[in-house]
Structure formats: C-alpha cells, structure tokens
Amino acid sequence: MLYNLKDPKTKEEISYHIDKKIVYLLEGVKNYISKRDKDYVMLIDGYEGSGKTTFAIQLGKYVDPSLNLSRICMTPDEFKDAIKTAKKGQCVIYDEAVTGLTAGDSITKVGRILKSMMMQMRQKNLYVIVIMPVIFEFNKYAVLSRTRFFFHIYEPKGRIGYFVGLNKKGTRITYLKGKKTHSYSVRSRFVGRFYGKFGLGNSQEPLYRKKKEDALFVVGEEEESTKYRVKSLLIQYIKKLTGDSIKKIEKRFEEEGIPLKKTAIGNALLVK
C-alpha cells in the first residue's frame, strides 16, 4: 500500500510504499506503546548498503510522523541524549554508521544504554529501532530481554529491498543458534519487499547523508588516535622486554615493513 503524510515540521508531502504485513505489525506497535503503556525495541541488521536505514526510517515515520534527523542517531552519546529528550510516544533510531575498530565498542555501549535507560524508555513509551551490521554482535541482554521484533535485510542476487521478520521467540532462537556461526537458520513467513524512498522527504535526504559523513569523519579520527595509542603501548612493551632504544625499535619495525608514524613514537615517549 502507499503511505502518505505531511511532515509536521518541514510541511513536505511524503509518500512511500509499505508492505501490508508491515502495516499490521506497526499498528500493533502503536497500540502497544500507547494503550499498554510500554516501550518497543526493534532490531534491524544486514550488509552495508542493503537499505537498512531507509527501511528503519519508513517504519519509524509510520509510527511517529514527527520523526526527524535529530532522533536518527549516529553515536551512542547522541542516542542516549535523544532518549532523554524524546517526548512520549516518539521514535528514536540508532543508525550504526560506524565501521572499523570502534564499531564493536559502539554497539556494546548501545546495549548498555537500552538496559540502563529502560525505565525512561517505558515511561515515555518510546519506539526504539537499532540498526547494526550483524545481530550476533549485540549483547545478550539487549537481544533476549529487550527486543520485541527483528528484521534481517538481505539482497537476493544483488537486489536490495528484501526483508525477513522474526517475533520475539524467533529472534531468541536465531540469536542463540547462530551466535557461533553467524547463521540465520530460523525460517519465517514474515517476508516481503520495501523500496528505496527516503521516509523523511527529499529535502532531508542530503542532510542525512551529510550527518552520516560527519559521524564517519569523527569516528575515523578516533580510530587513528586509537591505532597510535596501541602502537605506542606496543613500543613501550618491547622497550621494557628488550631494553632497546625507541630508535632501534623504530628501525626494526621499518625492516619488517611497518613504518611507525611520528605520532605513535611521540605517544610512546609520553607513556610512563
């Protein structure tokens, strides 16, 4: 079916196709968070570029027409702040834009936030969507105790826009069975398609892409800093073991084809 709305903030007319099964599910979500006075946590995973964010925003905008970029979060701190400032019945999305050294750390922090802020989320009846590359990297509590529905986004023969959904029981079995092998072995009839229409409207899509680009830039800088710190500690460890000077250690690294940047060497000199 075609879902149509007028954004209450930008006044832009928005429309996108949404599967009837999804509509039935989301009507249940709206009923759950309003009439039963609860919160609702949903997980979405899938390969990079598979359309996870597009799908999540379409879901969030259906339940909460006021959803905007301020509640689509790229970092754990932003996610925590959005939960604190969200109003009753609103949607908050954590978009796992981070890749590399800090990705695992970020998703661990998000799991802790879901646990530590459980009371606030329930009191405000929030609809929270967490997007990540692989569900099996999430912590056990967040998946088994907080998640009510899970979507895996996949690409048959390279075509994006396909989903399979699992209820709480199916999510639990999938997580416990697939934790070691990262395999999605549970079958579901809750399958369908979605299309790549940006749910916040055409005017907001470039702003979202800029926000994501800025988040990746900040994270990239943090990763570089982490790499230098790790190398610095390694230099100090080798120095203690061998008694060699830092210059000698630097030369040994270069002989192995691993040149040390001056930042790492400078950090090593500062380590006590």
Q: Which helix (H) or strand (E) is 73 found in, with range? A: strand 72-73
In DSSP terms, 151 is beta-bridged to 44, 165
Residue 36 has a pLDDT of 87
Distant-in-sequence, close-in-space partners of 166: CB < 8 Å, separation ≥ 6: 149, 150, 151, 152, 174, 186, 188, 190
Per domain, the residue ranges of the chain are 2-203, 225-270
Domain 2-203 bears CATH identifier 3.40.50.300: yes
| pTM (whole model) above 0.85 | no
User: If we measure between CA atoms, which residue out of 101, 93, 96, 183 comes closest to residue 136?
Assistant: 183
Distant-in-sequence, close-in-space partners of 102: CB < 8 Å, separation ≥ 6: 219, 222, 223, 226
Q: Which two tokens stand for residue 34?
A: 């309003």
Q: Please give the full DSSP string across 146-194, using - where no structure is assigned.
A: IEEEEEEEE-GGG---EEEEEEHHHHHHHHHHHTTT-------S-EEE-
Q: Kindly give the confidence (pLDDT) of every residue in the chain, 272 residues in length, as a single tens digit, with 9 standing for 90 and above.
A: 999 999 999 999 999 999 999 999 999 999 999 988 899 999 999 988 899 999 999 999 999 999 999 999 988 889 999 999 999 999 999 998 654 434 567 778 888 899 999 999 999 999 999 999 899 988 899 999 999 999 999 998 888 899 999 999 999 999 999 988 888 988 899 999 999 999 999 999 999 988 888 876 555 444 444 555 656 666 777 777 787 877 777 777 776 666 665 545 554 444 44
In DSSP terms, 2 is beta-bridged to 17
Distant-in-sequence, close-in-space partners of 186: CB < 8 Å, separation ≥ 6: 166, 170, 173, 174, 177
Q: Which helix (H) or strand (E) is 44 found in, with range? A: strand 40-46
Handedness of CA 251, 254, 256, 261 (dihedral sign): positive
CA–CA separation, 231 vs 249, rounded Å?
Answer: 11
In DSSP terms, 132 is beta-bridged to 45
